[in-house]
């Protein structure tokens, strides 16, 4: 039985979407068992009348609510009875629980996970690895996308090892092509951190390092993972999402500006619907935190049921493939470098 705890509050569509996503995941994975945290009465109400196997659901009451502006440190210290912190504590304390999924505040989740959940042996810094769709129909992972705004070359090597294993085990990509985000293709580009990381990555035979990547090539389909510090990774992911959404919005506005365009768009209705789905980043699940001893998946704050289900699936696959022990095995080979 695979047990995963779901933080059922904190998202724009909570708890509806969380409960629905959970039930849907249960119907797809027969050995899945879910623990839902949040206001018990509200959760029971949401379950009522919906088909589900009650023997595989546990509800844990967590009545406190986290405010939008609360500082992560205060959330950890003062909101112990919130759905997120309760989920993190259960993940830490209960040996039978393997993973957690949350759509709540990223800052609080990172802080809680890093201070309450242990790290995989040898891992210096856990890192986020969200997934974006590439233009050739594939996927690309970005690691780190925001857990560490400052990094060392050795951190970057660990991000590469962890995300390579992730893409291989969860997305079935054989020998993932790993790139280093930089301001140019040449090895000597960028600051000292990038230059040293380039050398370290080249000297790590366990990964398939293909060199530096310029950000304009992110969606080209030539790379399976791009490794970067959390600051520029955050810029990379959010700029891609932002540009795509703004362009779609502009197209829509321009189409509505003339009858002729509206007629044309009518013929292309299905195509535009597909483009919209293609660029809807919810369809690609959440951002997994790589390197914690138990799996933590962070979904978009705006996640709907399908996206929550994807997050649960990601957590499930990470655990099934025993990702952490695979990480440990490789990372411990390099553990003499830096702590």
Handedness of CA 275, 277, 280, 283 (dihedral sign): negative
Stretches 110-118, 202-210, 229-237, 289-297: which one binds a copy of itself (CB under 8 A)? 229-237
Residue 242 exposed, middle or buried by CB count within 10 Å (0-12, 13-18, 19+): exposed
Stretches 49-57, 121-129, 164-172, 275-283: which one binds a copy of itself (CB under 8 A)? 275-283
x/- track of binding to a copy of itself for residues 147-186 (CB under 8 A): --xx------------------------------x-xx--
**Tokens at residue 98, please?**
């393997």
Other residues' Cβ atoms within 10 Å of the Cβ of residue 335: 15
Going across the sheet that includes 2-7, the strands are 57-61, 32-38, 2-7, 97-102, 295-298, 287-290, 127-129
Distance CA 148, CA 165 (A): 20
**In whole angstroms, how close is the CB of 174 to a copy of itself at the nearest point?**
25
Other residues' Cβ atoms within 10 Å of the Cβ of residue 190: 18
139 forms part of the interface with a copy of itself (CB under 8 A): no
Site for a copy of itself in 290-319 (CB under 8 A): none
80 forms part of the interface with a copy of itself (CB under 8 A): no
Q: Please identify which residue in 187, 265, 306, 320 interacts with a copy of itself, judged by CB under 8 A.
A: 265
Task: Between 278 and 337, name the residue whose CB sits nearer to a copy of itself.
Answer: 278
Cβ contact 233:159 at 8 Å? no
Stretches 45-53, 171-179, 246-254, 304-312: which one binds a copy of itself (CB under 8 A)? 246-254
Residues 6+ apart with CB under 8 A from 265: 255, 272
Go through the chain and tell me how many residues it has: 339
| Residues at the interface with a copy of itself (CB under 8 A) | 107, 135, 146, 149-150, 181, 183-184, 190-191, 194, 214-220, 230-232, 234-236, 238-247, 249-251, 254-255, 258, 260-261, 263-268, 271, 274-275, 278-279
């Amino acid at each position: 039985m695979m047990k995963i705890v779901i933080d059922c509050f904190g998202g724009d569509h909570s708890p509806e979407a969380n409960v629905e996503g959970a039930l849907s995941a249960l119907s797809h994975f027969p050995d899945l068992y879910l623990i839902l945290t949040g206001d018990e009465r509200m959760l029971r109400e949401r379950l009522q009348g919906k088909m589900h196997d009650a023997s595989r659901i546990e509800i844990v009451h967590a009545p406190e609510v986290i405010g939008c502006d609360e500082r992560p440190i205060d959330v950890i210290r003062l909101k112990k009875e919130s759905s997120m912190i309760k989920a993190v504590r259960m993940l830490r304390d209960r040996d039978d629980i393997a993973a957690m999924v949350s759509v709540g505040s990223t800052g609080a989740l990172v802080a809680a996970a890093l201070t309450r959940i242990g790290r995989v042996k040898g891992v210096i810094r856990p890192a986020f690895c969200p997934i974006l769709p590439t233009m050739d129909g594939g996927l690309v992972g970005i690691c780190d996308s925001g857990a560490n705004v400052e990094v060392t070359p050795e951190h970057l090597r660990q991000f590469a090892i962890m995300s390579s294993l992730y893409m291989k085990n969860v997305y079935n990509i054989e020998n993932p092509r790993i790139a280093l985000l930089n301001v140019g293709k040449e090895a000597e580009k960028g600051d000292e951190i990038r230059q040293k990381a380039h050398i370290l990555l080249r000297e790590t035979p366990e990964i398939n390092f293909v060199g530096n990547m310029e950000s304009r090539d992110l969606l080209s389909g030539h790379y399976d993972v791009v490794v970067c510090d959390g600051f520029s990774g955050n810029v990379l992911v959010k700029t891609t999402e932002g540009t795509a959404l703004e362009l779609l919005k502009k197209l829509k506005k321009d189409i509505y500006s003339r009858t002729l365009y509206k007629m044309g768009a009518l013929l292309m209705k299905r195509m535009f619907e597909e483009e919209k789905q293609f660029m809807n980043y919810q369809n690609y699940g959440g951002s997994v935190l790589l390197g914690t001893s138990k799996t933590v998946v962070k979904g978009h704050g705006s996640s709907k049921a399908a996206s929550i289900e994807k997050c649960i699936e990601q957590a499930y696959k990470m655990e099934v493939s025993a990702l952490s022990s695979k990480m440990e095995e490789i990372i411990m080979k390099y553990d003499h470098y830096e702590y």
